[in-house]
Chains A and B, each alone.
Chain A
Amino acid sequence: MTAVIHDIGYRRYDGPRLGRFPAALALARHSLRGAYGLGRPAKSKILPFLIAAIMMLPAVVSIAVMALLKQEAISYPAYMVTMEAVIAIFLATQSPYMVAPDLRFRVLPLYLSRPVGIVDYVGAKLAALATALFVLLAVPLTILFIGELLIDLPGPPHTHDYLAALVGGVVLSVLLASIGLALASFTPRRGLGVASVIAFYLFTSAVSAVFVGVLQSVGKSEAAAWAWLANPFFLVDAVQVWLFGTNPIGDGYPPGPWALVIVLVVTALAVLGLLARYRKAATA
């Protein structure tokens, strides 16, 4: 008996060719998996999963407190501000991964020579990072809520707070993703990208804290209320307060929709910066 390997030659593809949107969706899915190190070497999984585990700690402790002491330990809307440093580290380490390799290894022209345009590319990367951030926050919040329902504290469950925190999580994710990507996209070097995002976080939180401290000590509490908003995490907390009347983490924010306006303006500026950056890269 003889085995023959037939060279079947070149076969044409006459199956479906999907449009831009499915391609962009595939890119978003690929990038989202990549943000958690899935489909990447084992060592790329360590940091995102470690951070995700740390994000769970307050939820676990809180459930234990609820079970033992029958009282709420951490409020849902406060979760993101409590964990701001951890979320910032995730943002700093994962946003350069989203954009830097494609710039550094010059993969971008391969995307742009396909139906995927700049808007699709940037949109997919933003959606992927925002989703990754939201998952990071929403999973512990949801586990905490399930815990609360199971333990059945006296009084009604904090459903309103939980939902408010989820909406706040969406706002925070979109805001941070656009800032993170905009900063990271300016350098093809990953280390530099990490440093610039971390520097941005440290700078805003330090400026915010210093101004709040100084303004409060000289008795200008109204100005201090504005100073809180320099920190993106307090900014989103202020949005939650305005939208849902949750308890502010800071000592009160300026009244009115200003926090939301600032969030929208900053997000729009970051996205415009990103698009401009990629328009320039596309013709290079």
Chain B
Amino acid sequence: MAILATEELTKQFPRVTALRQLTVTAGTGVTGLVGANGAGKSTLIKILLGLLPPTSGRAQVLDMDVGTHGAQIRRVVGYMPEHDCLPPDVSATEFVVHMAQMSGLPRTAARERAADTLRHVGLHEERYRPIGGYSTGMRQRVKLAQALVHDPQLVFLDEPTNGLDPQGRDDMLALIRRIGSEFGISVLVTSHLLGELERVCDHVIVIDGGTLLRSSAISEFTQATQALAVEVEEGLEPLAARLSQVGESVAVQGRLLTVEVRSDETYDAVRDAVCDLDLNLIRLEQRHGRIEDVFRV
């Protein structure tokens, strides 16, 4: 099932064109939406939420049209904005309970869900203190909790790792992965950092200047440039020569030998060559192509 689909979607602001005939679909699981600042990521999310009317084209979320079914979409979708959106003088618990009620949950259910959700995002005793005293990491967790509290089918997370330190970034990414797998909630997550999304996404959409650069499963991104890194104690040159002889494409990078993986036989070829030449193998590892590579073409 497609969680979202756009068709020739265009959004024109008085001064800029934010989206230009964007046609893209995404399935269940975690979908990354990658692009530089101003690429049109936030505009796309606002259109998908039905908050911004598109200039032309169509968009569907969970098989509902954003133009005609905005209210129904917003009942089953969660949204974590990029910007700060928390009042400082209430506690996280009060705030998330209130937001659950705004999603239509009865008061007692709202309380239960808020407690559950705050625990899942990793806010414990501090949830009773006013939000004004929270760190950036805690604020991001509260923002995430309010997006999840009504148990949506799909969440839009706009730059959730913004402003976090490396540890906080890792925690947030792990949480996003859990939302997609363990919680069973589909995720559309945006970032301008390509590298961090490939760790958590099943599918990546890359947009630039409002147009689609690429949309494909994460496996395709990495498969395309899959390679093996081989390190041996001595005898890198003979190994390279031997592998070229049997038809593998190799490149020497300092003390490492990079072998392009064409099929499973490549692994056998490397093993046989190392054995035949009687070399001491130190390292043999997968080298994933990075999402950045789509920009290097």
Contact = CB atoms under 8 A, between A and B. Distances in A.
Interface of A: 9-13, 15-20, 22-23, 26-27, 30, 39-41, 101-102, 105-107, 109-117, 282-283
A105 B107 CA distance: 24
Nearest to A104: B87
Contacts of A117: 71
B75 interface: yes
Interface string B65-104: 0000001001101110101111111100010001101111
B150 interface: yes
A105 B105 contact: no
Contacts, number: 105
B78 to A, nearest CB: 8
Contacts of B184: 10, 12
A18 B146 contact: no
Nearest to A113: B79
Grouping DSSP codes into helix (H, G, I), strand (E, B) and loop, the A interface class, with mixed when no group exceeds half, is loop
B104 A22 contact: yes
Given A18-B104, A115-B104, A282-B51, A106 B74 contact: no
B170 interface: no
Given A19-B104, A30-B98, A109-B51, A12 B151 contact: yes
A99 to B, nearest CB: 12
A20 B286 CA distance: 52
Contacts of B74: 113-115
A110 B81 contact: yes
Contact of A39 (B79, B94, B103): B94
Contacts of B107: 26
Interface of B: 46, 49, 51-52, 71, 74-75, 77-79, 81, 83-90, 94, 98-99, 101-107, 109, 113, 116, 120, 130, 146, 150-151, 178, 182-184
Nearest to B72: A115
Contact of B89 (A19, A30, A41): A41
A13 B101 CA distance: 13
Contacts of B89: 40-41, 101
16 contacts: A10-B120, A19-B104, A22-B106, A23-B102, A23-B104, A26-B98, A27-B102, A105-B87, A106-B81, A106-B84, A110-B81, A110-B102, A111-B102, A113-B51, A113-B78, A114-B104
Contact of B102 (A26, A40, A105, A106): A26
B85 A15 contact: no
Given A105-B87, A110-B99, A283-B52, A13 B182 contact: no
B104 A113 contact: no
A39 B90 CA distance: 9
